[in-house]
Structure 1
Amino acid sequence: MTPSDELPIDAQLPAIRQALVDHNRALLVAEPGAGKTTRVPLALLNEAWCRGEHGEGRLLLLEPRRVAARLAAGFMAESLGEPVGQTVGYRMRGESRVGPDTRLEVVTQGVLTRMLQDDPLLEGVSGIVFDEFHERSLEADLGLALALDAQSVRDDLRLLVMSATLDVEALLGVLGSETPLIESQGRSFPVQTHYRPLGSRSNSRLGSRDDAAVQQAGAVVEALSMSEGDALVFLPGVAEIRRLARELASRQPELAIRELHGRLPLEEQRRALKPEPDGRRRVVLATAIAESSVTVDGVRIVIDAGQERVPVFQPRSGLSRLETRRVNRASADQRRGRAGRQGPGLCLRLWAEEQPLPAHGEPEMLQADLAPLAFELARWGIVEPAGLAWITPPPAGALAAGRRLLQRLGLMDEGFLLTELGRACVRWPTHPRLAAMLTRAGELDAEPLACALVATLEGRDLVDEQDLERTLQACLAQPAARRQWQREAQRLARIGGVRLEVETLAPLGELLALAYPDRVAQRIHHDAGPGRFRLASGGLATLPERHPLAHAELLVAADLDGQASGARIFRGVAIERARLEALFPETGEWRASLEWSEEQGRLIGEQVRGLGAVVLERRPLASLPPEAVREALLEALRRRGELPFDDSAEQLRGRVALLRRELGSGRDREDWPDWSLPALMEELEAWLGPHLDGIKSLDALSRLPLERYLLDSLDWSLRSRLDALAPERLEVPSGSRIRLDYMPCLEGRAPVLAVKLQEVFGWRESPRIADGRVAVLLHLLSPARRPLQVTADLASFWANGYPEVRREMRGRYPKHPWPEDPLTAVATARTKPRP
């Protein structure tokens, strides 16, 4: 190795090796450019613990993205002078290049979960390296939790978690405080950073989306004039990439404009990563796929739009919605660093320098559909998630929603374990919805069609196609023109043991209904015209009036934008009523249906038969069953999205929110419940349902003692400590017992004590609660009870702020004490100190 080949991580390799000799877990924090992804796994291959008894030990390197996995494997194989598939190989969904001599497998994160589920002891695997763990994908969190569980039986299995940025304290809380931590500097050149906030409108004739592309194109042209080298532009999604590509092509046709995102075929991804053979300057328009792991050769310029697009799951609607958000500060710094990988660089940030950014991104665990996680936990045999070690435990509401879906699909029983159908779905490497469809397709004699349909629904290169039936027909007619689709459909057919020969699309609607029973939709006959539908889940969905399906009586929506009310349907297929009734026998059962009418202010009841909120037939209801009344009231509350809490209930929620935040929840921590509004809405049946007997209106419900119901639901061991940890009142030096305000704790802030300044003379420091973890925010009041100072640092106020307050107030309130030394003065609630 020549000096120029050396990377910063090389100096830390001995420490990493020794850490994994002495321990079976380690953390590595290495800045971008350190070389951790390709240097560390190769350095571990020849360690005694990794070779195994007969030299057969394997090492797994987890990468968050497919393109990163392929590139890392290729680079390491090349450094050994070998092709991929010998010592170093890779494995991902639908693609594998490993051989009998492969000892280092680069795998995507979902592959690890399947490997662990198939072989919980990971026989033959000596260690697992989690790369880029800071991205906190759902699969990475689950993979680490399962690997730690496996390690409790196999203590010779080594785990190394590494990233450019890590929440070290949180990880050590899971891995153990004795886990060694190794840190490495990165290799980077200086990067000049400039801020160019985009104006709200640069051309009044253009729509806002095109206007943004015009301004972004101007920033790209400016950056290219300021620095040498190629440019990498970070944008939130494919639509923005394509708009900017069109604008740049019209302005600067001499540029090579390349896209880089997950929908592209592998060949185009590789092409985007390498400089142009003819030497033209290139501009790479990328999503967050280029943020880490991947090095884009030749880039000396980064233009960052400062946004990212993330799917956010909403347990109430059971849908995920794509949200465009401000990028977090850690990601922005990662993006900036891309300009300094191979030489001095330039970064243009398209926002104002004073624009605040969140420090870190939210773990996917907190914003994802947890049905796949619930399925994997059930397969692992875990009923209570606290049985595993989580950095971020699964949110109760989202996990409950995932379990309800699995039960609706028939994959999970009431005890949260897999049914016979659920176990049959294990073989399919796809979402449980689609696995249920693939497994049950034989009931319709439509296994080949199901394989083709799943490949169409999941095809990265087909997501822009909105006519699902026509897209599927085109794929089946010319499969060679859709190679990615063809590979996936054939792979699923091999797993299912069928030939990919589709004779008819007739069962298409039924297949979709097997996967999406909650998205069966019925047209609403309304004066507003066609295109309005009610989903079986209860929500509303719409299609453009001119859409071919706008007049369909029944359809199944495969893609929705996630809005709980008025969701847009992107892809769907019509289904006949007779086929729906044959597919779901429960549609023949009559049931009582009650709904709260906001217009009439009362419950409206009838008997119906159908699928959820899709009603196929109605008839009058003679009486109102108590169970139906209770459920109707609960559903009315869910739709309103609020609960009639009085001040005492809100204060109680704030107290518990504070203790949950400070003292925690889950494994090895006090299990303070989540009483946020979304969590309580998800658990209405459990904590409020039993108290609704005899209640028939929302007005009567608002008079119920909700504070007492919440207290009754609190575990006795926690309830007995509540007053000591978060007291309702605090005694101040004057002897008064003053009520604390815990409402700010519902928003993550400290509790407030509003008290006259004279009553806290003698208090040297701000009072603390929650086992001394939280300083109370003091609102120090004048004799007229107007705020004089807000502080959580009373000692600093006495030393620095009080002299000025005393100077101003002693003349205004001469009957009240304003001593020079408040620390030795007698506190009083009166106008004069007591003798």
Structure 2
Amino acid sequence: MTLPIDARLDAIHAALADHSRALLVAEPGAGKTTRVPLSLLDAPWAREGRLLLLEPRRVAARLAAGFMADQLGERLGETVGYRMRGESRVGPATRLEVVTQGVLTRMLQEDPLLEGVAGILFDEFHERSLEADLGLALALDAQTVRDDLRLLVMSATLDVEALLGVLGQETPVIECPGRTFLVETRYRTLNARQELPAQQARALLDAMAEQQGDALVILPGVAEIRRLAAELASRAPELLALELHGRLPLDAQRRALRPDPEGRRRVVLATAIAESSVTVDGVRLVVDAGRERVPVFQPRSGLTRLETRRVNRASADQRRGRAGRQGPGLCVRLWAEEQPLIAHGEPEIRQADLAPLAFELARWGITDAHQLAWATPPPAGPLAAGRDLLRRLGLVDDADHLTELGRGASRWPTHPRLAAMLERAGERRASALACALVALLEERGVDQERDLERLLQARLGAPRSHRQWHRDAERLARIAGVALEVSDPSPLGELLAIAYPERIAQRLESPGRFRLAGGGHATLPEGHPLAHTELLVAAELSGEASGARIFRAVALSRERLEALYPECAEWRTRLEWSDEQGGLTGEEVRGLGAVVLERRALQALPPGAVRQALLDALRRRGLPDSEALTQLRGRLALLHRTLGDAWPEVSDEALLEGLDDWLGPHLDGIRRLDAVERLPLGRLLLDSLDWPLRGRLDELVPERLTVPSGATHRVDYAPCLTGKPPVLAVKLQECFGWHVSPRVAEGREAVLLHLLSPARRPLQVTADLASFWAGGYAQVRREMRGRYPKHPWPEDPMAAEASARTKRPRV
């Protein structure tokens, strides 16, 4: 069967023959995932080495490898194989390995030169996963030594200009249309007050009555898939409803992609894995719920929260295209047509936990992330939070270099938290227990049962009933060099405390309410067996740090905590702001973070500690309202947005994080927050700027602007804090003769004019004064001339004399 990509294969070969890098932009249905890698096996530069095809999802990796092996009439593990964490189908003759993203990173870390690898193909790069971004950055760095290593970045939608900025402007770009048939798009709004599965089922069945072929329904998660499957079973039992998601075994995934051998009509209920990389054979109808579930990391709380959000427009178009792969199709979107969608999804590097990235950079020998070329650079705040965690775990030193523990932890294919636990478990003769525990913590599809110890005992007691867990635990045990035999589960809490020191929690007065060592509070139901426990460790938290819910918790004894963290024996001064007392309270405590094991009265308040307590209180409560501070922040925010990083970021988070620098030196002798509120905060922030910036501030963003009447008026920069333009409110008559709207920041930002009536009521809002004079002014003149006859309303405002006078001069 001929596919559109076949016509571009010669161009791809030519590009990689003359260049070490290339971009392939191929629309859905072009056949890039399976045709391009097989074709490149015959390229002269590839004949002496292997090719790696990087797939963002395990499902796509298995299925793509299986399809290509079938095309060659071979079994997996011969010419084509796949490799992912805990699973491998490769052999000595394998020349094309389909790998998941974490595997590529480990291969690069273990052999930075990638000896024996001729090229890497990054498939579906538009999904912009964290590991794909990291893999490309490391591969580009490897190319500085391996100039014969080929890189091909492939996707249906790529920001070509941004990637050329990373790969080099001389990088060839090959474009290929897809093979899609006409797809009709309909919108069907659901009622949020009614049961969604019932409405989804009605929409699906109505569409299936009109459209031939099988149906693909794309939902945000497995829970939604199973609810809709139950609804369909009761409404249309004659349909074959099949699930498609990453938790399924390979056979079940393959079955969902192929027509039913008995000819039954299928409904494939899938997560976003059906959006790209795989083709579901026979589908002519797509029902898109318009939602996706993404993990969003919160660096200040250290928590990752799954958010269900609207799909972006690029993903919605990808989903729609699935209906037109094999014939004319229909796409039913379960939202209103006028609902706006953002153009593209946010790269994962901007919203993920960056501790794993920080660890990989330390392993690569990089202390400054800017030493690598990034499609999207890692944001400074989350990267710093990731490095802080690595230091707490003991994996890196203060210079962000690997410690001895960090070098040992590098052998574990897991999150740095769990790697630290596995590496230190040997000291406690608990390696087998740690392997079993990590396999459970990483197990997908487990109900969020809070009794972690009971879950673990169930798996240890019946390993054959939990085959995937047992395979993963055995794999870790082989790395540890121990047998998977657990006789003493008592170190369980201690092991978790190694991995999650900030999630060690101390019970408050109320059962089920706990204070976390890292700050904030968390809860358990009052009837939970651990609700009355003095100390526990939460392996999983969800929600906000101010009131997170605890999942999978284990009790921790005070003795084990003190043995694990010797700093618990040290007395330290702790000051807190008391709303009840209206000031600072102090005491000496010993414990870990916010977990206090013992306390005693403090005789005097150390000045440095007082300053720090005030700063901490401000970070919790936020900065006081100050017009001068707001206006200065608006001016600086505008300059940061238009002129770049030379000007400081002044978001709430940035200012609170930098309090020690710009406010801390001015807190000597201050004991109360109301005294802080009386400080000239705007002037103090201004004084913290470097002198060259202060010297240019009034020039670039003046506080007042002179208008044609000769008067000066204050510019309001507060809107700039939310990305909006500054505002100048001025009477319309004062602007006669002003041909062009004023601009600031070297002319890069137009000032939004609020043109006022003589009574100072808004008449027009515009950033394009010339267009207003030429168009809207005539209507304003007709309406206002009779209402304010003593004020000038000339026919030609651009030629008239501006005036601040409220009445016409007498003749």
With normalisation by structure 2, the TM-score equals 0.95
Q: Is the counterpart of residue 599 in structure 1 residue 587 in structure 2?
A: no
Secondary structure, counterpart of 2:346 in structure 1: coil
Mapping for residues 521-600 of structure 1, pairs under 5 Å: 521-526=505-510, 530-600=511-581
Q: Is the counterpart of residue 15 in structure 1 residue 11 in structure 2?
A: yes
Name the CA distance, whole Å, in 2 between partners of 1:664 and 1:79.
51
What corresponds to 2:352 in structure 1?
Answer: 368
Q: Could you say what the CA RMSD is over the residues aligned between the two structures, in angstroms? A: 2.3
Secondary structure, counterpart of 1:810 in structure 2: helix
Secondary structure, counterpart of 2:786 in structure 1: coil
Tell me which of 133, 137, 143 is aligned to 2:129.
Answer: 137
2:48 and 2:118 in contact (8 A); partners too: no
What corresponds to 1:303 in structure 2?
Answer: 287
In the TM superposition, residue 440 of structure 1 has moved relative to its aligned partner by 0.3
Q: Could you report, residue by residue, the CA deviation over 1:83-134 in whole angstroms, capped at 9, with x for unpaired residues?
A: 3323322221112222333332221112222222222233333332222122
Secondary structure, counterpart of 2:554 in structure 1: strand
In the TM superposition, residue 45 of structure 1 has moved relative to its aligned partner by 3.1
- The amino acid of 2:148's aligned partner reads D
- The amino acid of 1:95's aligned partner reads E
1:87 and 1:102 in contact (8 A); partners too: yes
Q: Could you report, residue by residue, the CA deviation over 1:35-54 in whole angstroms, capped at 9, with x for unpaired residues?
A: 22222233333333x32xxx
In the TM superposition, residue 509 of structure 1 has moved relative to its aligned partner by 0.7
Name the CA distance, whole Å, in 1 between partners of 2:415 and 2:661.
29
Q: Is the counterpart of residue 64 in structure 1 residue 56 in structure 2?
A: yes
Tell me which of 187, 196, 201 is aligned to 1:212.
Answer: 196
Name the CA distance, whole Å, in 1 between partners of 2:153 and 2:803.
57
Distance of aligned partners of 1:388 and 1:825 in 2 relative to their CA distance in 1, 3 Å threshold: farther
Further displaced range: 724-733 or 616-625: 724-733
Q: Could you report, residue by residue, the CA deviation over 1:359-389 in whole angstroms, capped at 9, with x for unpaired residues?
A: 2221112211111111112222222322223
Q: Is the counterpart of residue 660 in structure 1 residue 640 in structure 2?
A: yes
Unaligned runs of at least 5 residues, structure 2 = none
In the TM superposition, residue 716 of structure 1 has moved relative to its aligned partner by 5.0
Tell me which of 27, 30, 37 is aligned to 1:41.
Answer: 37
- The amino acid of 2:652's aligned partner reads L
Tell me which of 359, 373, 392 is aligned to 2:343.
Answer: 359
Tell me which of 137, 156, 162 is aligned to 1:164.
Answer: 156
Distance of aligned partners of 1:709 and 1:194 in 2 relative to their CA distance in 1, 3 Å threshold: same
Mapping for residues 16-415 of structure 1, pairs under 5 Å: 16-48=12-44, 50-51=45-46, 55-202=47-194, 211-415=195-399
What corresponds to 2:754 in structure 1?
Answer: 779
Distance of aligned partners of 1:409 and 1:692 in 2 relative to their CA distance in 1, 3 Å threshold: farther
Q: Is the counterpart of residue 759 in structure 1 residue 742 in structure 2?
A: no
Distance of aligned partners of 1:265 and 1:354 in 2 relative to their CA distance in 1, 3 Å threshold: same
Name the CA distance, whole Å, in 2 between partners of 1:718 and 1:154.
43
Q: Could you report, residue by residue, the CA deviation over 1:740-793 in whole angstroms, capped at 9, with x for unpaired residues?
A: 322222222222232333333333333333344333322222233222222223
- The amino acid of 1:162's aligned partner reads M
In the TM superposition, residue 507 of structure 1 has moved relative to its aligned partner by 0.7
2:448 and 2:551 in contact (8 A); partners too: no
Secondary structure, counterpart of 2:471 in structure 1: helix
In the TM superposition, residue 833 of structure 1 has moved relative to its aligned partner by 9.3
In the TM superposition, residue 540 of structure 1 has moved relative to its aligned partner by 0.8
2:65 and 2:98 in contact (8 A); partners too: yes
What corresponds to 1:822 in structure 2?
Answer: 797
Name the CA distance, whole Å, in 2 between partners of 1:709 and 1:186.
59
- The amino acid of 2:69's aligned partner reads A
Name the CA distance, whole Å, in 2 between partners of 1:490 and 1:25.
40
- The amino acid of 2:367's aligned partner reads V
What corresponds to 2:417 in structure 1?
Answer: 433
Distance of aligned partners of 1:673 and 1:135 in 2 relative to their CA distance in 1, 3 Å threshold: farther
What corresponds to 1:639 in structure 2?
Answer: 620
Distance of aligned partners of 1:746 and 1:125 in 2 relative to their CA distance in 1, 3 Å threshold: farther
Further displaced range: 398-407 or 252-261: 252-261
Residue-pair matches, total: 810
In the TM superposition, residue 821 of structure 1 has moved relative to its aligned partner by 2.7
Secondary structure, counterpart of 2:774 in structure 1: helix
Name the CA distance, whole Å, in 2 between partners of 1:37 and 1:543.
47
In percent, how many aligned pairs have the same letter? 75
Name the CA distance, whole Å, in 2 between partners of 1:297 and 1:62.
23
Distance of aligned partners of 1:168 and 1:688 in 2 relative to their CA distance in 1, 3 Å threshold: farther
2:59 and 2:245 in contact (8 A); partners too: no
2:54 and 2:99 in contact (8 A); partners too: yes
- The amino acid of 1:653's aligned partner reads R
Name the CA distance, whole Å, in 1 between partners of 2:153 and 2:802.
55
2:239 and 2:264 in contact (8 A); partners too: yes
Name the CA distance, whole Å, in 2 between partners of 1:833 and 1:546.
80
Name the CA distance, whole Å, in 2 between partners of 1:390 and 1:675.
25
In the TM superposition, residue 424 of structure 1 has moved relative to its aligned partner by 1.4
Q: Is the counterpart of residue 474 in structure 1 residue 449 in structure 2?
A: no
Name the CA distance, whole Å, in 1 between partners of 2:318 and 2:239.
25
Secondary structure, counterpart of 2:787 in structure 1: coil
- The amino acid of 2:493's aligned partner reads G
Name the CA distance, whole Å, in 2 between partners of 1:675 and 1:22.
47
- The amino acid of 2:256's aligned partner reads A
In the TM superposition, residue 393 of structure 1 has moved relative to its aligned partner by 2.4
In the TM superposition, residue 221 of structure 1 has moved relative to its aligned partner by 2.1
Unaligned runs of at least 5 residues, structure 1 = 203-210, 666-670
In the TM superposition, residue 433 of structure 1 has moved relative to its aligned partner by 0.4
In the TM superposition, residue 448 of structure 1 has moved relative to its aligned partner by 0.7
In the TM superposition, residue 646 of structure 1 has moved relative to its aligned partner by 1.6
Further displaced range: 286-295 or 654-663: 654-663
In the TM superposition, residue 713 of structure 1 has moved relative to its aligned partner by 4.5
Secondary structure, counterpart of 2:776 in structure 1: helix
Secondary structure, counterpart of 2:186 in structure 1: strand
In the TM superposition, residue 704 of structure 1 has moved relative to its aligned partner by 2.8
- The amino acid of 2:122's aligned partner reads F
What corresponds to 1:801 in structure 2?
Answer: 776
Distance of aligned partners of 1:636 and 1:333 in 2 relative to their CA distance in 1, 3 Å threshold: same
Secondary structure, counterpart of 1:700 in structure 2: helix
2:125 and 2:154 in contact (8 A); partners too: yes
Name the CA distance, whole Å, in 2 between partners of 1:466 and 1:264.
24
Secondary structure, counterpart of 1:473 in structure 2: helix
Secondary structure, counterpart of 1:495 in structure 2: helix
- The amino acid of 1:660's aligned partner reads H
1:264 and 1:461 in contact (8 A); partners too: no
What corresponds to 2:629 in structure 1?
Answer: 649
What corresponds to 1:739 in structure 2?
Answer: 714
- The amino acid of 2:671's aligned partner reads K
Q: Could you report, residue by residue, the CA deviation over 1:503-554 in whole angstroms, capped at 9, with x for unpaired residues?
A: 121111111111011111111113xxx2111111111111111112112111
Name the CA distance, whole Å, in 1 between partners of 2:456 and 2:154.
42
Mapping for residues 684-699 of structure 1, pairs under 5 Å: 684-699=659-674
In the TM superposition, residue 429 of structure 1 has moved relative to its aligned partner by 1.0
What corresponds to 1:617 in structure 2?
Answer: 598
Name the CA distance, whole Å, in 2 between partners of 1:717 and 1:161.
43
What corresponds to 1:205 in structure 2?
Answer: none
Name the CA distance, whole Å, in 2 between partners of 1:735 and 1:389.
52
Q: Could you report, residue by residue, the CA deviation over 1:188-211 in whole angstroms, capped at 9, with x for unpaired residues?
A: 122222222111334xxxxxxxx2
1:645 and 1:706 in contact (8 A); partners too: no
